[in-house]
């Protein structure tokens, strides 16, 4: 059975991720108390109609008992039961805005944590250990629902035990560095197609932009050095058991140079025999 444990910040998008997972064949249970995770998994395994793909959401709504999940995950490891841990996150200011828009109360707000900001800070403190243990981290601060769906598909559409998945993403520094990135490379040092009127409305997905970006000797040399570094690092990450690697390429607006490099890096990683996907976070932003 494929077992996925989902946790993360309230309001970050765990429920939305669950909906996507259900669409691709996971049986999802939201807000399962930590103490029941082990027995529920065993019930699913022993059932006359076994569950092939199971996703369990365990988060701060369990309150004081949340830390029981760490004991259960340790038990899973001792029993050699394979599982993956997904952490869904977002910036504090984004979470605050989402709660204000929905007018819902944060699950940790009480007399001890009377404000939304205090509740979010307390939740982040409780969940910090889980984020450090996570096999996958999805930061939804600057992603649209469609982009989140694409990311979940890229990671979980196939068997989650099948090696490491590499995500090559582009972004614009003007919109912030992606929090989920493991490796961040700045390609703002290269000539910018933005200043050519005929290329400005295009993106790195268009051949004229790609040709412009890659015509320069410094672009070719930088690409080769980055690919050499990635070729060296990937086997080391794989040996350490890393499940997901996010390589982020950044330029000013996230439409031209970073998109070009992310696409080319993704293709290179696939040619080396790894599973790779591409995500252009800011390509449609003005």
For the stretch 244-258, pLDDT in tens is 899 999 999 999 999
pLDDT in tens, 50-99: 889 999 999 988 877 888 999 999 999 999 999 999 999 999 999 999 99
- pLDDT, residue 178, reads 93
Cα–Cα distance measured from residue 245 to residue 137, given in angstroms and rounded to the nearest whole number:
10
Backbone angles phi, psi at 185, to 5 degrees: -120, 130
Contact 4, 86 (CB under 8 A): yes
- Given a cut of 90, whether residue 17 has pLDDT beyond it is yes
Give every CB contact of residue 214 below 8 A, 6+ residues apart in sequence.
220, 223, 260, 264
Q: Would you place residue 276 in the very low, low, confident or very high pLDDT band (cuts 50, 70, 90)?
A: very high
Domain residue spans in the chain? Answer: 2-156, 165-280
Output the CA torsion sign for 179, 155, 87, 20. positive
- pLDDT, residue 1, reads 87
Cα–Cα distance measured from residue 74 to residue 178, given in angstroms and rounded to the nearest whole number:
30
Select 2-156's CATH number: 2.160.10.10, 3.90.25.10, 3.40.50.300, 1.10.10.10. Answer: 3.40.50.300
């Amino acid at each position: 059975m494929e077992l996925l444990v989902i946790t993360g910040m309230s309001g970050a998008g765990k429920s939305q991720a669950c909906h996507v997972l259900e669409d691709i064949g996971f049986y999802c249970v939201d807000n399962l108390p930590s103490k029941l995770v082990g027995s529920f998994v065993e019930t699913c395994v022993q059932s006359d109609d076994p569950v092939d793909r199971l996703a369990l959401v365990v988060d701060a709504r369990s309150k004081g008992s949340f830390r029981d999940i760490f004991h259960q995950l340790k038990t899973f490891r001792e029993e050699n039961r394979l599982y993956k841990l997904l952490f869904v996150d977002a910036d504090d200011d984004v979470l605050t805005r989402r709660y204000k828009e929905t007018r819902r109360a944060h699950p940790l707000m009480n007399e001890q944590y009377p404000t939304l900001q205090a509740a979010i800070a307390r939740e982040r403190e409780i969940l910090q250990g889980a984020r450090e243990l996570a096999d996958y981290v999805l930061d939804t601060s600057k992603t649209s629902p469609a982009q989140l769906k694409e990311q979940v598909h890229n990671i979980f559409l196939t068997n989650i035990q099948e090696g490491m998945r590499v995500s090559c993403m582009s972004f614009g520094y003007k919109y912030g560095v992606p929090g989920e990135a493991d490796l961040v490379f700045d390609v703002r040092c290269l000539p910018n197609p933005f200043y050519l009127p005929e290329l400005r409305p295009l993106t790195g997905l268009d051949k004229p932009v790609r040709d412009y970006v890659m015509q320069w000797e410094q672009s070719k040399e930088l690409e080769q050095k980055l690919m050499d570094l990635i070729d060296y690092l990937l086997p080391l990450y794989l040996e350490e058991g890393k499940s997901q690697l996010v390589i982020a390429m950044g330029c000013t607006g996230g439409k031209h140079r970073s998109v070009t490099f992310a696409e080319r890096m993704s293709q290179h990683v696939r040619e080396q025999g790894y599973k790779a996907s591409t995500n252009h976070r800011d390509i449609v932003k003005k």
